[in-house]
Amino acid sequence: MVGFHLKILGFQNSAFEPDMARKFRRIKIYENVFRYVKETKPQHMKKSILLTFLFASMFTIRAQTKAVISGKIINSAVNEISIIGLYTSQKINLGTDGSFKTTLALDYEGQYYFHTGLDGMSIYLENGKTLIINADYKNLFKTLKFQGTLAKENQYLAAKSVLLQKTDQKALYTLGENDFLASIAKTAKSRDSLYKSSDIKNTRFKKLEERDQYYATQYEYWIYPEWHKDIAQLPDYKSSESFPTPEKSKMVFDNQDDFTFSNVFMDMARRSVQDQPNLAQDTTTVHKLPFEKIKRHFKSPVIRDAMFAGFGFFINAGNPNSEIIYKKLMEEIKSEVLKKDITQKFTKLASLLPGKPAPSFDLENLNGSRTTMENLKGKYIYIDFWATWCKPCREEIPALKEIQAKYNGKNVEFVSISIDNVRDKEKWQNLVKKENLQGVQLIDGLGFNSKLVASYIVESIPRFILIDSNGSIVSADAPRPSDPELSKLLDALPL
């Protein structure tokens, strides 16, 4: 899969998603990523990037650049883990005791994403180095232990992640300018103290981390005005003359080492060329995507292909111009592996065309038993993919209730499928009861790693699917409940 996994960009889930963040989420580069650093932070801070590969001419170098990764994940509910980079994702089978070992061909030296199926974290890899990861699947961060030649670097990254996740992002960007600056200065001081106590000797890592500390502060200066306006609900807010501005002229965004190490640098590089149009509402997006800007500003093949791959997100069931975007990407991307990846996605869209058999489901319902698509045979099915942490999803609840009431007694079943993590099942149950949600309530529990989510190519939520009484697709990207077009669509059906 391809796309800007918000994870690699350092973005994480949370109970809110400002409008500007929502726009960025639509621009994410879909599937290989730091997309999964845990569902605890703002949606616009959702973690990551899946993206790209190197030029064919670099593949010989790639074959010589390797790192050995091993360890043990006990109590795992799955039989594999994943290591995800900017360009590729490698699945590694776990032994019966949870052990694993692989020699990973590196596309670059820098940060990758280690995912257990339940949790994930950033890891740092270098050519010729070793990393041993031992942890309990049920509680990754509290049980995590590193060994090997990259142990100190990764122990520090894990500790830094825990430190940064303590910040309530919604509260942070609600603060006024002075309090905001004081808060980020305090966090920077704590981070610097942690770094200095880490006793890391790796010169390359130290240089990258020290630059990342600088970038982190500049990034806060960059995003605060737009996020404060949105989160604090101050539409007329403009930053004061005394509020610091990011030192863009001092940053060289065409820096591959920083791009593959620093999540915030990566997003600033993207922001430096992207105008962030509301692409979700515009089906002619290929004409607005900044292909030429990217080619002018970036010479690094890694950065170019990563940027281009992000536009693969717009190859989707709801975009009539998916083929145009696909052809443009095939012209611009140099990596043959990445081209193959995007082609697989484009080809898969054909299986979601109207009239095609809809992927079936067999999921846990609110009562703890199972509900299958077969149980609903003979009825039209309106599926809502959502999650408790997704603000846009929750905003659709009132409209969904109205639609359900309007078509009560008709031959249509409203099925809400939560992609909340299995550990958040109680949170899901409580919200369903609190909001008195009707219809069929199901939970997948695997987030964006779910096979069902993948089968419908769900890359952002909320997402709505309409299936006919024979189990065939009517629309793989149906109107949302708040859209008047949904009633028109349902009224035209023999319900």
% residues pLDDT > 90 (the chain) = 59
* Over residues 19-32, mean pLDDT: 30
pLDDT of residue 315: 87
Least confident of 26-30, 168-172, 359-363, 382-386: 26-30
Please tell me whether residues 339 and 374 are part of one structural domain. no
pLDDT of residue 356: 94
Please tell me whether residues 158 and 10 are part of one structural domain. yes
* Over residues 378-388, mean pLDDT: 95
Q: State the pLDDT confidence band at 287, using cuts at 50, 70 and 90.
A: low
- From 323, 352, 381, the end of a domain falls on 352
> pLDDT digit string (tens) for 229-251?
999 999 999 999 999 999 999 99
Provide the residue range defining the domain that includes 419: 362-491
Residue 61 has pLDDT above 50, yes or no: no
Find the CATH number of the domain harbouring 375: 3.40.30.10
The answer to whether 17 touches 394, Cβ cutoff 8 Å, is no
% residues pLDDT > 70 (the chain) = 84
- From 352, 376, 394, the end of a domain falls on 352
Q: Is 42 exposed, middle or buried (0-12, 13-18, 19+ CB in 10 A)?
A: buried
pLDDT of residue 374: 92
- Is pLDDT larger for residue 133 or for residue 119? 133
Integer Cα distance of 450 and 26 in angstroms: 20
Integer Cα distance of 273 and 265 in angstroms: 13
Please tell me whether residues 243 and 141 are part of one structural domain. yes
Please tell me whether residues 330 and 377 are part of one structural domain. no
Please tell me whether residues 303 and 449 are part of one structural domain. no
Integer Cα distance of 55 and 356 in angstroms: 37
pLDDT of residue 87: 67
Least confident of 59-63, 157-161, 415-419, 450-454: 59-63
In a domain, 342, yes or no: yes
Please tell me whether residues 403 and 265 are part of one structural domain. no
Residue 42 has pLDDT above 90, yes or no: no
Please tell me whether residues 107 and 67 are part of one structural domain. yes
- From 312, 334, 352, the end of a domain falls on 352
- Is pLDDT larger for residue 58 or for residue 210? 210
Instruction: Domain count for the chain, please give it.
Output: 2
Q: State the pLDDT confidence band at 286, using cuts at 50, 70 and 90.
A: low
Residue partners of 118: CB distance under 8 A and separation at least 6: 77, 78, 137, 138, 140, 421, 422, 423
- Is pLDDT larger for residue 36 or for residue 303? 303
Please tell me whether residues 192 and 216 are part of one structural domain. yes
Please tell me whether residues 390 and 328 are part of one structural domain. no
* Over residues 200-205, mean pLDDT: 95
In a domain, 73, yes or no: yes
Rounded to two decimals, the pTM is: 0.76
pLDDT of residue 17: 30
In a domain, 40, yes or no: yes
Q: Is 58 exposed, middle or buried (0-12, 13-18, 19+ CB in 10 A)?
A: middle
In a domain, 397, yes or no: yes
In a domain, 184, yes or no: yes
In a domain, 357, yes or no: no
> pLDDT digit string (tens) for 396-450?
999 999 999 999 999 999 999 999 988 889 999 999 999 999 999 999 988 887 8
- Is pLDDT larger for residue 30 or for residue 358? 358
In a domain, 411, yes or no: yes
Q: State the pLDDT confidence band at 175, using cuts at 50, 70 and 90.
A: very high
Give the residues across from 440 on adjacent strands: 415
Please tell me whether residues 147 and 115 are part of one structural domain. yes
Please tell me whether residues 51 and 77 are part of one structural domain. yes
